[in-house]
Structure 1
């Protein structure tokens, strides 16, 4: 596997398709961590910031695939509000990730996580696992191999 020349953390800039102040409401940093990338999102993900959320997820997949595939961990610890559409966007990016040989998981430390409950109800927990902390997500990522 080749290593990307990313700095320790990468700030994901604003896309031209999103509202001009959406970056103030929703921020994100991408942190390389071994064979995984951790996407740290902060703020609100709602209808107003949905274009920014799509751009953030797209950028994270591109950065992860630049290293030949691997793991993308979406950390929602610092998200104040997460719409159902935002969860669906993560699920949609799982499909894209599979095509790029990228396994995606979510970190949500909140008890009775809404993300985990939705994925359980829809039967998608084996496809998009939710972990209570980054350590568990990284351990699971190192135990699986999304590459052929």
Structure 2
């Protein structure tokens, strides 16, 4: 959902979609894996790039409430299988924007929750928080991750 807000015409290759853009004088490659989440890291076998030190990963996180984002310079997987897979390829030292989709209701298991549909009121919040996430990403490119963290980590989108 996130990458679709930035890229109008995604191209498909192997097990991912991508687009290239120039933002703030920087050539940026946006990549969306099409594999199972726990295989997300395998995408790095297909990218023609030696250095991934400038990567920024944007992902959903059930441990963060819907309406919040959290920007980090590095960290663990927090139990997220897709991030575990990325860490296997990259180590823990990569920038990330976590987009909250939690909490998980007590009567629903994790898989059903993550693969389920959002309710109408949740979609409205998600729309706003995805826009906020795009703004945060642009701030990282323009002003650096420290500035983005100070501006966006305390914000919360509500209806």
Fold shared, TM-score > 0.5 on shorter chain: no
- Larger RCO: Structure 1 or Structure 2 (Cα < 8 Å, ≥ 6 residues apart)? 2
User: Looking at CA atoms only, which structure, 1 or 2, has the larger radius of gyration?
Assistant: 2
Q: Which category describes the TM-score, using the shorter chain as reference length?
A: 0.3 to 0.5
